[in-house]
Structures are given as structure tokens and as C-alpha cells.
Amino acid sequence: MKRPAVAIVGAGRVGTALAVGLKAQGYEIVAVTSRTRASACLLAGRVGAEVLAPAEAARRGDLVFITTPDDAIAGTAEAIAREGGFRAGQWVAHTSGSLPAEVLRPAAEAGAIVFSLHPLQSFADRETAAELLAGSFFVFEGDENAEELARTLVADLKGSFWRLRSEAKPLYHAAACVASNYLVSLLHFMKRLAVRAGLPEEQIMPAFLPLIQGTLRNVLALGAVGALTGPVARGDQETIRRHKSALDPEEWEIYRVLGLYTLKIARDRGLAEEKVRALEEILGGGKNA
């Protein structure tokens, strides 16, 4: 398959990662457009592209990636379509994890082949985004006529390819948010408790990192059920009560909800039912219960 000329609509972290990654694999990035000219110019300078208005940028591309925030994808597609930016035989994709390719209907109505291709990766900043993209899993959804191209793109980016049904995307994206966003929340919560315990703030993350990494290694090796350790796994009521007494009401609410879910894993792991019921009684109530 001949490599298509690529236009990027949205020069944020994902757009930057794709443009830089594809450029490194020999794709021509012909145009970049973005909400601010400064961000468009920054990316265009990195990949040797022109900075153009959205519809003109789309017209230049054989493959158009709309990499705007989710709530702007449909409106961006509509605006480009109104100005004649899409054409028959062109490929148009977005990179949202939760939205279907259907939001690109204005492009499809112009004859373009539409799909979504979501990189299962977290991009915290533009500088490291392209490095993280290589080797990621990519989830494809949309027109089956785009699958060959999508597979080629993913292979060129040294990634792995998954195909997903449109209706499954919200659940898939919820899983991705738990794995990435809520992991950050858990680590923030951990740090809050450690600071309150009097540990030196600047040493907390380095100190807990071996524990975190060891847990991840265990999950990879043994699965989540096999990797579970700690007071819930062994049905240790007194330790949970001591935790409860040390936590403020907000902290306890977070802890107990996590504990109740962890108890489901402990049950799957074989925790005796009487111990499960005893922990359910402790974890099921509020701070003063």
C-alpha cells in the first residue's frame, strides 16, 4: 500500500505523537492545523509541514487525523465538511477512545472512509508523547475498508492492533481510565496518607516505587487474583479497624469502597466466607459505624 500524505487537525499531545511517529517511519506530514497557531507552528516545525486552516489542511491530506479533544471532534468534522475539506476516497480518522467513528459522519457523507484509532497510552506532555507511542496497543473501530490502512499504520508504529465494536468503546475507555487516570488518583491518595503519617514528602514516591513495581510484576506473572496480598486477602479484621481509626471520613470512604472491591478478589482467591462477611460488616459502614 502506498503511504498516504497525512494531515493533522489538532496539534496537542496525541496529534504530536502521531505526526512525529509517522514522520519517523517515512510518512509525509503535509499539513497541520490547530486551535492556536502557536501549537500548530510548533508541530509543523518538527515534521516539516505547512500550517493551514482546517479545511485546507484536510484537503491536502490523503489521510486526515482529527486529534482534537473529544468534545470538539464532531464540530470540527462538520466545519471542515461545510468548507469542502473532505472528498471521496480520502481516509478520515479520530483518536478518541470513547467515541465511535460515527461522529465523523460529515466526512463519510462526502465520500471519505472513516474510522477511529485510539492509542492505549497516556501522554502527559508533547515532548515524550512520540516515544511512548511506539509499541503501544491501538484500538480500531469503524469502516472495514479502513482496516488494512489502520493495520499498516499500527505495524509501522511498532504497535499491536485490536479491533473493537462501536458499542464497546465506552466500556473499553472506562477500563483505560481506570488503568491510567485512576492509578494516578490512587498514588495521590497514597501520598496523602503517607504525608499525614509524617514521612518526608520528597522521599515518598521513591520509597513506595519498589512496592508498586513489585505489585505490577506480580499481577503480570500471577494475574490480579493470584497477586493479591495484604489484610483484606487474609481477612485481617483488626488491621482494617486500625486503618479505619486512623483515617478521616473522606479518606475512609475512599478506602472502604476500594476495600469492598478488593474483598471480591479475596473471595475469588478463596478467603473463607465467614471472614468475607466479617470484613463486609466493617467496610460496609461509614466512619462512625
Domain of 78? 6-166
225 within some domain: yes
What is the residue whose three cell numbers read 469502516? 143
289 within some domain: no
Q: Residue 125 has what pLDDT?
A: 86
171 within some domain: no
CATH assignment at residue 123:
3.40.50.720
Separation CA 78–CA 192 (nearest Å) = 45
49 within some domain: yes
Is the same domain home to 140 and 191? no
Is the same domain home to 23 and 156? yes
Is the same domain home to 189 and 257? yes
Sheet architecture: strand order including 137-142: 50-51, 29-33, 6-9, 63-66, 91-94, 113-119, 137-142, 160-163
Pairing of β 113-119 and β 137-142:
antiparallel
Is the same domain home to 79 and 142? yes
Is the same domain home to 85 and 201? no
Residue type (1 letter), 36: T
265 within some domain: yes
Separation CA 176–CA 135 (nearest Å) = 16
Is the same domain home to 209 and 274? yes
Q: Residue 151 has what pLDDT?
A: 98
107 within some domain: yes
Q: Residue 289 has what pLDDT?
A: 56
Is the same domain home to 151 and 129? yes
Residue 7, H or E segment = strand 6-9
Q: H/E/C letters for each residue in 99-168?
A: CCHHHHHHHHHCCCEEEEEEECCCCCCHHHHHHHHCCCEEEEEECHHHHHHHHHHHHHCCCEEEECCHHH
Is the same domain home to 183 and 155? no
Per-residue pLDDT 10s for the chain (289 aa) are 789 999 999 999 999 999 999 999 999 999 999 999 999 999 999 999 999 999 999 999 999 999 999 999 999 999 999 999 999 999 999 999 999 999 999 999 999 999 999 999 999 888 888 888 989 999 999 999 999 999 999 999 999 999 999 999 999 999 999 999 999 999 999 999 999 999 999 999 999 999 999 999 999 999 999 999 999 999 999 999 999 999 999 999 999 999 999 999 999 999 999 999 999 999 996 555 5
Q: What cell does 39 get?
A: 501549537
Which of 116, 138, 166 corresponds to the end of one domain? 166
51 within some domain: yes
Helices 169-179 + 181-196 axis angle, to 10 = 30
Is the same domain home to 97 and 230? no
20 within some domain: yes
pTM of the model: 0.92
Which of 98, 131, 166 corresponds to the end of one domain? 166
Is the same domain home to 93 and 206? no
First-to-last CA distance in the chain?
65
Is the same domain home to 14 and 157? yes
Say how many domains are in the chain. 2
Is the same domain home to 54 and 95? yes
Which of 166, 199, 226 corresponds to the end of one domain? 166
